[in-house]
Amino acid sequence: MSVTIKDVAEKAGVSPATVSRVIGSRGYVSDKNRRKIQAAIRELGYQPNVLARSMVTKSTCIIGLVVTDILNPFFAHLARGVEKVTWQEGFTLILANTDEDPDRETAVVRTLQAQQVDGLILVPSTSLPSPHLSELVDRKVPLVLVDRSVRNLAVDTVMVDNEHGAYQAVSYLVQKGHSQVGVILDNPEISTNIERLAGYRRALEEAGIPYREDLIRSCQYTEQSAHDIAAEMIARADPPSAIFTTNNFMTLGALNAIIERGMKIPEQIAIVGFDDLELPWMGPAQISTVRQPVHEMGNVAAQRLLARIRGDQSPALEIRLKTRFSTE
Amino acid sequence: MSVTIKDVAEKAGVSPATVSRVIGSRGYVSDKNRRKIQAAIRELGYQPNVLARSMVTKSTCIIGLVVTDILNPFFAHLARGVEKVTWQEGFTLILANTDEDPDRETAVVRTLQAQQVDGLILVPSTSLPSPHLSELVDRKVPLVLVDRSVRNLAVDTVMVDNEHGAYQAVSYLVQKGHSQVGVILDNPEISTNIERLAGYRRALEEAGIPYREDLIRSCQYTEQSAHDIAAEMIARADPPSAIFTTNNFMTLGALNAIIERGMKIPEQIAIVGFDDLELPWMGPAQISTVRQPVHEMGNVAAQRLLARIRGDQSPALEIRLKTRFSTE
DNA sequence: TTGAAAGCGCTAACAA
DNA sequence: TTGTTAGCGCTTTCAA
């Protein structure tokens, strides 16, 4: 059997309560006892059972981080950003994927709740109101949304200025003389895409360019699907002269479709992507991207959550970080 | 206060033990009571506290997964492979990064132990014996190593046939007429690199090509570092005609150095990498890679761990999955 | 400055 | 088929 606080107490000739005081560095303990206890801990290789501690303190120091897909470098970086501050503050992170599936999201959130996490940072898989998130709010489980928002859910949300970022990107294309700008986005239900599309529309409107429904195409959240849509788009009689993609994978898919067709970038078709795309090697291709401070988003979300866990009762905040448009 | 099993019991007019039987689907419960209890659970929105359960059952159904860097797509895929089977089996995953740092590895393992994880899957940051891992073995905490091994540690280890994979890759280069093959690897202390280097040597030996120390360069685990080493290597008077890189990031760094210098691949310099590199777009560059069944490695490691958790006492296994050499 | 006792929410004997 | 009891390992009053 593993060694418990009782074993340490016996070995040191004191009560468990005194050992507990030493472990938690709280209350008064005589130097003599402190030393004896520390020696006993070392000799026995004692490690406190945090489960038992959590039972009485009602705090697990565990935070759940729910992303849609850790394979997307964007979310991997986000996770690192969150991890950095939570680790520093002595919290453990449980990471879970939802695969952009609301049902899985529900299941994952339930599991995390059962684990008694102290709080949750979540990338919602839809912006539609979901009962499992309202439930969290009702139960006063600290929750911070990141990257995307959920309608009518009054919780802290950390996002970038999607509308403005897209506006900037599309304005750049317009300025370069493009009047037919295709858009490839995944799920049109998530807030980032809604906002980015709004930015796109505003850029066109401002330039007096009519909005063409047929240039907006949504697809599955896979590179393959984006590829197929892009291929179709550039193959038609009246193709766009530029494409705006709203995330990493869409950009890659579109890129491959363009390369396959043997078109030159940006001479024959321009492409601007959203997200901090780390293309390992872009070669001669010129791609401008709307860069997001993803690591910082993770930091900020984690700080917000910790503040809530520590009792911050202020009204829900919407925090917007700035994107940076970088032309290559 | 949150709702407990006692609340449910009161509402349903039974004892907590009966409610526990319903939740755990064990023991006898009359249909009438079962229905009453289920109704009470639903009405109260009761969720069992798994912490309390774990205290008595001595099992948390939590598995720790320790990788060196979740930003590396290789480990991200590995994590998904592990997650897939653990989730199916009702286990929760705690994911932690070590950043290739043995000290952090020690700290992370300690934290996970304190969380009372049922077992650990770990990518060791060094193949040198480490006390914190021996401690796990001593305490009979189920442990499975993945991707890399640790010397003199008798635990299940899931790897690929690194030696053979490297042998195949280098033999291919030799066959193409290359006799000066440079190698860029990161930490020469980790088992994968040791084995891959051995495969490299065997391929040369077999072809009667002398082994040149100066063609073997190790670097930091960053793309930048690999880039610098590669740049230096190809700039010298007597450059290699081919480069063998031992992981994702090394390949990318070398690739960039080659492109920068304006060299053509494979005409002026060939490159063969290890790892399942998902180059989004390789354009005209020809890169052959030793592909690893990374997702499956995760699956197998998870299965092994679950078997151990369920009491498998057989001697430690070394499992080797096959790599696949793919020329482009 | 210390210890005894109670109890966190749950499960597992055991008895009824 | 059900309830009573004890106890998992810890922290936290409270009294000494």
Residue of B nearest to A75 (CA): B71
B29 touches strand D (CB under 7 A): yes
CB < 7 A contacts with chain C (nucleic strand) = A 13-18, 21, 27-30, 32-33, 52, 55-56; B 1-2, 4-6, 16-17, 19-20, 23-24, 26, 48-49, 52-53, 55-57
Residue A27, pLDDT score: 87
For residue B313, the 8-state DSSP code is -
Q: Is B94 helix (H, G, I), strand (E, B) or coil?
A: strand
A6 CA → C4 C1’, Å: 14
Nearest to A160 by CA among A168, A152, A151, A172: A168
Give the burial string for B268-306 (b: 16+ CB within 10 Å, else e): ebbbbbbbbbebbbbeebebbbbbbbbbbbbbbbbbbbb
Average pLDDT score over chain A: 93
Residue A285, pLDDT score: 57
pLDDT band at residue B287 using 50, 70 and 90 as cut-offs: confident
Residue B285, pLDDT score: 57
Please state whether the predicted TM-score (pTM) of the whole model is above 0.75: yes
Distance (Å, rounded) from C-alpha A117 to C-alpha A299? Answer: 19
Nearest to A72 by CA among A252, A245, A205, A243: A252
Average pLDDT score over chain B: 93
Q: HEC states along B175-208?
A: HCCCCCEEEEECCCCCHHHHHHHHHHHHHHHHHC
A44 touches strand D (CB under 7 A): no
Q: Could you give the angle at which helices A31-44 and A5-12 cross, rounded to 10 degrees? A: 120
Query: What's the rounded mean pLDDT across residues A292-301?
Result: 97
**pLDDT above 90: percentage of residues in chain B:** 84
Residue B305, pLDDT score: 98
From chain A, the residues in CB contact with B83 under 8 A are 97
Each residue's pLDDT tens digit, B211-250: 999 999 999 988 899 999 999 999 999 999 999 999 888 8
Residues 3-22 of A with CB under 7 A from strand D: 4-6, 16-17, 19-21
From chain B, the residues in CB contact with A77 under 8 A are 71
CB distance A52–B55 less than 8 Å? yes
Which residue has its C-alpha nearest to nucleotide C7's C1'?
A56
**pLDDT above 70: percentage of residues in chain A:** 96
Name the closest nucleotide to A57, judged by C1' and CA.
D11
Residue A287, pLDDT score: 79
Residue B266, pLDDT score: 84
Which bases along strand C come within 7 Å of a protein CB atom? 1-5, 7-13
CB distance A71–B71 less than 8 Å? no
- From start to end of chain A, where are the E strands? 62-67, 92-97, 119-122, 143-146, 156-160, 181-185, 216-218, 242-245, 270-274, 288-291, 318-321, 324-326
Nearest to A170 by CA among A185, A150, A156, A187: A185
pLDDT score of A195 more than 80: yes
Helix locations, A89-161, DSSP H: 102-114, 131-138
Residue B3, pLDDT score: 94
User: What is the full DSSP assignment across B13-52?
Assistant: TS-HHHHHHHHTT-S---HHHHHHHHHHHHHHT----HHH
| H or E segment to which residue B321 belongs | strand B318-321
Which bases along strand D come within 7 Å of a protein CB atom? 1-5, 7-13
Residue of B nearest to A90 (CA): B111
Residue B276, pLDDT score: 64
Distance of CA A187 to the CA centre of its chain: 16
**Two structure tokens written together for B106:** 């020690």
Q: Which residue has the higher pLDDT, A252 or A227?
A: A227
